[in-house]
Amino acid sequence: METNLSVIVKKYSVPVLFFFFGIFLLVAGIKGKQDNMFLMSSILMFIAGFLSIIYSSGKLKTSILSIIGIAAGIGALVTMYFSWMSVAETNEYNKNYTLCKSEAIQNLTDIRYAQKIYSEVNGKYISDWDSLVYFINTGTVPFVESQGVVPSRKMTPEESKFIYRDNRPIDINMTEKEAYKLAKSPICPEDLKDFKRDTVQVSLLKSKYLTKSNTESRKNAGLKKFNAEDLPYIPLSRSKAKWKMEVKDSIQVGEEFFPAIEVSGIIPFSKIQGSKNEKISFGKLTSNETAGSWEDE
């Protein structure tokens, strides 16, 4: 009796284990809403266990088992193919998500910079895309041309009297402001002949967006060359969806008044494939903050 029980256990233990493991995986896959590849693997595991039980009982001929085995093998290969395709698709999706988000962040950072420059001069933000693109392409920003250094010495009595029109004591070395005034004066000393601190207007486009460092940075990040005309559009959006740009010329923050801006949009990807697409933005219409949502991550 014990011998027969031992033979039965040896004969059926592995097939039964595969059978119930297949049932467990199938139930877990359905309840956990797993993908089709997981469910197919569970079904194949279940079938393999079921056929092994029948074969072990002697009710299934070897030839029939071979035919079923070949069919199952083909099914397994097909499953492996679709599984590989699914992995490749997921990798491509993740690659596009990373690229899209990087380009979106760079896009919003460039928009924010131009808006900040404009608001510093005009006291408000640009409210439409055409005007913003035009400002980036044609606008100018102040730039200080710097040449020479402040001499490490005190001013002479003559130099001090020229600047201050009095005979005040000379206790400290010359400051940069004093050096600037002397360099522009008719009594300019020899050591200030090459001193220069002039503010000139330079192209916003060339001084910020088309510099060598910015161009190299974009290239290293895998981003395309800067083009102001691309800024209004969310990267990799098939329908050329635009960022939503909202501005207010004046809001009250405490006892002061400031302009406000918010630029937002939903990129066509999510961090986890299949979930809700990700929203990215900067600024708020209720405050003068211009922080980006990505800066809080």
Domain that holds residue 231: 99-140+223-296
Kindly write down the DSSP assignment for every residue of the chain, as one continuous string. Answer: -HHHHHHHHHHHHHHHHHHHHHHHHHHHHHHTT--HHHHHHHHHHHHHHHHHHHHHHT-S-HHHHHHHHHHHHHHHHHHHHHHHHHHHHHHHHHHHHHHHHHHHHHHHHHHHHHHHHHHHHHSS---SHHHHHHHHHH-EEEEEEEES---SSPPPHHHHHHHHSS-----SPPPHHHHHHHHHSTT--GGGTT-EEEEEEEEHIIIIISSHHHHHHHHHTTPPPP-GGGTTBPTT-TT-PBPEEEEEEEEEETTEEEEEEEEEEE-S--SSTTSPPPEEEEEESSSS---BGGGG-
pLDDT at position 274 is 76
285: which 2 tokens?
């219409």
Band the pLDDT of 253: cuts 50, 70, 90.
confident
Question: What is the per-residue pLDDT across 131-165, written as a single tens digit (0 to 9) for each?
Answer: 999 999 999 998 888 899 999 999 999 999 999 99
Q: What is the mean pLDDT of residues 80-93?
A: 69
Which of 6-15, 190-199, 279-288 shows the lowest per-residue confidence on average (mean pLDDT)? 6-15
Q: What is the mean pLDDT of residues 31-52?
A: 65
> Do residues 38 and 81 share a domain?
yes
If one counts the domains in the chain, the total is 3
In a domain? residue 253? yes
> Do residues 79 and 29 share a domain?
yes
Q: Which of 55, 72, 90 is the last residue of a domain?
A: 90
> Do residues 86 and 46 share a domain?
yes
pLDDT at position 144 is 82
pLDDT at position 83 is 59
Please give the residue that has the higher pLDDT: either 196 or 45: 196
Return the axis-axis angle of helices 129-138 and 62-122, rounded to nearest 10°: 70
> Do residues 83 and 132 share a domain?
no
Indicate yes or no: pTM above 0.85.
Answer: no
Question: What is the per-residue pLDDT across 183-234, written as a single tens digit (0 to 9) for each?
Answer: 999 999 999 999 998 888 899 999 999 999 999 999 998 899 999 999 999 9
pLDDT at position 265 is 95
pLDDT at position 94 is 87
> Do residues 15 and 123 share a domain?
no
pLDDT at position 2 is 47
> Do residues 234 and 117 share a domain?
yes
Which of 70-79, 97-106, 123-132 shows the lowest per-residue confidence on average (mean pLDDT)? 70-79
Contact 262, 284 (CB under 8 A): yes
For residue 234, the one-letter residue type is: I
> Do residues 182 and 284 share a domain?
no
In a domain? residue 206? no
Please give the residue that has the higher pLDDT: either 147 or 75: 147
> Do residues 63 and 170 share a domain?
no
In a domain? residue 129? yes
On average, the pLDDT of the chain sits at 83
> Do residues 73 and 104 share a domain?
no
In a domain? residue 76? yes
pLDDT at position 143 is 86
> Do residues 110 and 159 share a domain?
no
Band the pLDDT of 1: cuts 50, 70, 90.
very low
Band the pLDDT of 22: cuts 50, 70, 90.
low
Contact 21, 58 (CB under 8 A): no
Cα–Cα distance for residue pair 42/130, rounded to 1 Å: 56
> Do residues 111 and 17 share a domain?
no
Q: What is the mean pLDDT of residues 272-294?
A: 91
* 263 bridge partner residues: 245, 282
> Do residues 83 and 47 share a domain?
yes
